[in-house]
Structure 1
Amino acid sequence: MAFKIKINLNLHLLLLFLITAVCLALASKDPELKQCKHQCKVQRQFDEQQKRDCERSCDEYYKMKKEKGRNYESEEEEEEEEEVENPYVFDDEHFVGQIETGEGKIKVLQKFTQRSHLLRGIENFRVSIVEANPSTFVVPTHFDAEIILFVAQGRGTITVIKEKRGSFELKCGDVFRIPSGAPFYFINKDEHRKLKIVKLLQSTSVPGHFQTFQPAGGENPESFYTAFSWDLLEAAFKIPRDKLERFFKQQKPGTIIKASREQIRSLSRHEEIIPKIWPFSEGETERPFNLLKQHPCQSNKFGRLFEAYPDEFSQLRDLGVAIAFANITEGSMVAPHYNSKSMKIAVVLDGQGGFQMACPHLSSSSRRSGRWSEREEERKGERTYQKIRGRLSRGVVFVVPAGHPFSVFASPNHSLQIVCFEVNAYGNTKYFLAGKENIVNKMESIARELGFNTPGREVERMFKQQEEEFFFPGPNQQEHEWADA
């Protein structure tokens, strides 16, 4: 009887120890196998067989834990591999919010940090594209976001309500600022052509998120008035509930609706109602300006670049955002360069081409492992670069962080038109890596010689061969080859 009690006691002790060993294993993460076995050996109440059983249990537990960890890491690596594949280029599948009616559509690009934490510098910005069919009306709304819009195609009239109502004509190339919270609506007054608008939104409530608020509507879109109780609305409007219900629950056919010729003509009649003369000069700062009517900052037979900076245009000033439009002729390219401070958000309006960028965050080793570890690279004293590639076509969005060398080129048979929003534009400088104004040509001869470990004259010949500035003849490739760039 005493022998059985002793066996049972030993079994209980063994079970208790195994539980303790497992807990220690969990707490100490992976060096615990050796410790687990050591604990088995030093237990005086265990005989030799029990010690062997205990060590075998350690092995089985460790094997199970390691296998589970490998499966988890494999899944995690697959997810991160997708992230590092190319976190800087966005196409149709990355537009997550979309409103579509028979008269047009509005689509919103996903939050940048949803794609990659490397883009957290522009977490507070979103991109939206609006397309309205001919002779249509986009219903009144306001956003909890500052908006800079660029008219990519067509012509219309936009009305914004601040202290007073202001209505302005919009045409291709116009840039316009809509303050956060200001109600606005617009029309496509062209009877034959779509109105296409690209918007950059900077959220003012929740970083990277914005909401639309619409006063008019039924079920689609819903009016924000209906969120209030009927007794509150009765008191606010001094109108009986039954009339309010009928009024606010009328079904609307969507955010973008057809308008008659007479309605379009009436809404167009009120353009530019803000006085232009002193002392009403404040109205001048609110008017659209046309980017394409500015003097191009770069122009030759290979392309043209128009830019507007916040220190020159009051509509951009307090946001610190610059806007640019590039038209690259077929078969041409933009000089490899980088921005010192600004982060570029570019939207392809038309054409086809390619994009390449040097990225130190996604080195070849991190790409293979599916992990980005800047700290590990710094510890090893290594810095390698991954060539980021992207195909460019209408609707594609790509991002270029500050300091990252990049270039864009048009395909041999198509020109390329791009509108760019540059965040953090104050004090930004473009540094060119090739062409007439490249940075190497501005170095002393001995600095070039030491830096490239090549005689100074040879370095000079290499970097002075290209005499064009900013826009060059592009890569000499066949049509099927550029698409892989």
Structure 2
Amino acid sequence: MVVRNRGTFLLLLVAFCYGVTMAMGLREEKDQARWRSQREEMINKRKKESKSGSGRTGENWFLLRDYKSIVETDAGAVRVVRTRGDSKNRPMHIGFVTMEPNTLFIPQYLDSSLILFLHRGQARLGYICNDELTERQLGDGDVYRIPAGSAFYLENTGEGSRLEIISSIDASDSFGMGLFQSFFIGGGTYPTSVLSGFEPQTLTTSFNVSMDEIRKIMSKTRRGPFVHVNEKSPSTWTKFLKQKQGDRLQHLKRIVETHREDEISQVQEQPKFSWRRLLGSMLGQKINLKTDNNKCPQAYNLYSKNPDFSNNYGSSIALERSDYSPLRHAGIGVYLVNLTAGAMMAPHVNPVATEYGIVLRGTGRIQIVHPNGTSAMNAKVRQGDVFWIPRYFAFCQIASNSGPFEFFGFTTSAHRNRPQFLVGANSLLHTLNGPELAASLGVSEERVKRVLDAQHESVILPAPAETRSEEKEKKKMMEKLAKLMNAGFAKF
């Protein structure tokens, strides 16, 4: 009787366990079906938003195409791309300055600090630093910072060539009057000088000249902030550029002396570069005139920096505060990446900063992934396109097979970025490799190791094998064609 009861009990126990297992299996299937349904719904939603451009998650959200023309004349132009980000990121926009040959961007100061990258051309930059007029000759690849509130001018010195500059615009100190605000020291009817707002008696007293002289000086500039430097019929600004450096400072000094300190007290900057300090010095202290101020920073040439990483498939350069001290004050980093045809910057994450990029050359694709594992963007980009990558989002850049892909940009931190690569020989998956990773993937450790060890390259990865073989075949065909053509020409 006892044996029979024990057998019945075991049978009931087995039946109960089977029932529980089936119930758990059905529940798991329901959960998986619900998860798949939610995922498909989210993917479809992302696709709709991407096509329509609406919402915060479509491809248009990560490709920045909201260009605003600030100035556009026959001598030069300024365009600004509004950037996006969250409340944790400081406001920063991307500016593009183009100047025709023999032109001057007249003296002004901004309520925002700038980091200039000279993409193409030659320029002379003059600005006030440590109570002195400092001039720097800039060329291709040079990086330079102009603090907010520092008066400056810019001249295109390239012989017959256009000047092209890309800049970050840190609007954290701006008055909230738009993207940024220019305060023109020079000017006339267009642009209007900040001097124009003072009463006539204030100006005549300040300059110690008649009102008629003031009108003659302040009414000639009518074609915008970019003026042609014409040798045959020299303008006021042509004569200004021909003056000795000390005389140019005195010229700016006479203009600055008309400003009252309470009119510009809102412009804030580090004490070393303060407009308030500059004004006080000019009004009450003796000014030391030097041909060059060694205390002011030199430009940093990005092209001359040794790559932080380089292999047969491309190179990557990062400029941070330990490399260039002005970035310490700006809190902004700079980077430059070159990829060969078909190469890929391996999928990675920026744990420190948000990244803004500008395509300088070639075409490629930018892929960005949402935290939930869905695609945020998979878009083709070309020269001139601007994109941004939010901090912590996984992403990669892929060059097209047609040629090299080069892009430059800014990051919202001057500290070392330390990107975390998700794929490649140096990926964090290698660091995490163990039974825990295998368990999370639901496969054996041997299989995980086999997959991770298949990629021997790191950071910048080669094009797929089939693409490389296609390129080799193309190269061979072109070589054969060239030989045939040469042989044909030889007969003639």
What amino acid maps onto 2:68 in structure 1? V
Partner residue, 2:258 = none
Change in 2 beyond 3 A, CA 1:99/1:474: farther
Question: Normalising to structure 2: TM-score of the pair?
Answer: 0.69
Partner residue, 1:228 = 198
Partner residue, 2:367 = 356
Q: Is the 8 A contact 1:341 1:425 kept in 2?
A: no
Alignment of 1:85-96 (within 5 A): 85-91=58-64, 93-96=65-68
SS of residue paired to 1:334: strand
Residue 409 (structure 1) aligned with residue 398 (structure 2): yes
Partner residue, 1:12 = none
Change in 2 beyond 3 A, CA 1:90/1:238: farther
- For 1:202 and 1:392, the matched residues in 2 are separated by 25
Give 1:181 shift. Answer: 0.8
Q: Is the 8 A contact 2:120 2:163 kept in 1?
A: yes
Give 1:281 shift. Answer: 5.1
Q: 1:199 aligns with which of 164, 167, 172?
A: 167
Alignment of 1:240-251 (within 5 A): 240-251=210-221
What amino acid maps onto 1:101 in structure 2? T
Residue 282 (structure 1) aligned with residue 283 (structure 2): no
Residue 463 (structure 1) aligned with residue 452 (structure 2): yes
Partner residue, 1:216 = 186
What amino acid maps onto 2:74 in structure 1? G
Change in 2 beyond 3 A, CA 1:294/1:261: farther
Give 1:275 shift. Answer: 7.3
What amino acid maps onto 2:102 in structure 1? S
SS of residue paired to 1:318: helix
Any idea what the Cα deviations from partners look like across 1:183-232, whole Å, max 9, x if unmatched? Answer: 11112211232211111011213467320111111222121111222222
- For 2:360 and 2:111, the matched residues in 1 are separated by 26
Alignment of 1:2-17 (within 5 A): none
Partner residue, 2:19 = none
Residue 291 (structure 1) aligned with residue 305 (structure 2): no
Any idea what the Cα deviations from partners look like across 1:391-437, whole Å, max 9, x if unmatched? Answer: 21122111111111100111111322211211124253210011110
Partner residue, 2:224 = 254
What amino acid maps onto 2:107 in structure 1? P
Any idea what the Cα deviations from partners look like across 1:153-175, whole Å, max 9, x if unmatched? Answer: 11111111131011111011111
- For 2:324 and 2:147, the matched residues in 1 are separated by 15
Q: Is the 8 A contact 1:189 1:268 kept in 2?
A: no
What amino acid maps onto 1:429 in structure 2? R
Any idea what the Cα deviations from partners look like across 1:111-160, whole Å, max 9, x if unmatched? Answer: x34xxxx5434351111011112222221111111111111111111111
Change in 2 beyond 3 A, CA 1:395/1:411: same
Q: Is the 8 A contact 2:79 2:97 kept in 1?
A: yes
- For 2:394 and 2:439, the matched residues in 1 are separated by 22
Q: Is the 8 A contact 2:433 2:449 kept in 1?
A: no
Give 1:454 shift. Answer: 0.9
Change in 2 beyond 3 A, CA 1:464/1:232: same
Partner residue, 1:343 = 354
SS of residue paired to 2:57: helix
Give 1:266 shift. Answer: 6.3
- For 2:380 and 2:420, the matched residues in 1 are separated by 24
What amino acid maps onto 2:413 in structure 1? N
- For 1:452 and 1:153, the matched residues in 2 are separated by 49
Q: Is the 8 A contact 1:160 1:167 kept in 2?
A: yes
Any idea what the Cα deviations from partners look like across 1:312-362, whole Å, max 9, x if unmatched? Answer: 3211012221111111122211111111111111111222111011123xx
- Matched residues, number: 369
Q: 1:183 aligns with which of 132, 137, 151?
A: 151
Partner residue, 1:154 = 121
- For 1:268 and 1:316, the matched residues in 2 are separated by 32
- For 2:239 and 2:378, the matched residues in 1 are separated by 44
Residue 126 (structure 1) aligned with residue 88 (structure 2): no
Q: Is the 8 A contact 2:126 2:133 kept in 1?
A: yes
Q: 1:106 aligns with which of 78, 102, 111?
A: 78
Give 1:389 shift. Answer: 2.2
Give 1:477 shift. Answer: 7.0
- For 1:402 and 1:418, the matched residues in 2 are separated by 18
Change in 2 beyond 3 A, CA 1:384/1:351: closer
- For 2:62 and 2:338, the matched residues in 1 are separated by 19
Change in 2 beyond 3 A, CA 1:261/1:236: closer
Q: 2:427 aligns with which of 405, 413, 438?
A: 438
Q: Is the 8 A contact 1:189 1:264 kept in 2?
A: no
SS of residue paired to 2:439: helix
- For 2:306 and 2:162, the matched residues in 1 are separated by 27
Give 1:252 shift. Answer: 3.1
Q: Is the 8 A contact 2:53 2:61 kept in 1?
A: no
Q: Is the 8 A contact 1:157 1:268 kept in 2?
A: no
Larger deviation, residues 151-160 vs 252-261 = 252-261
Q: 2:335 aligns with which of 296, 321, 324?
A: 324
Q: CA RMSD in A?
A: 3.0
Any stretches of 5+ residues in structure 1 without a counterpart?
Answer: 1-75, 361-382, 479-485
What amino acid maps onto 1:325 in structure 2? L
Any stretches of 5+ residues in structure 2 without a counterpart?
Answer: 1-48, 233-237, 247-288, 469-492
Any idea what the Cα deviations from partners look like across 1:256-279, whole Å, max 9, x if unmatched? Answer: 2222469699669969x9678xxx
Alignment of 1:136-151 (within 5 A): 136-151=103-118
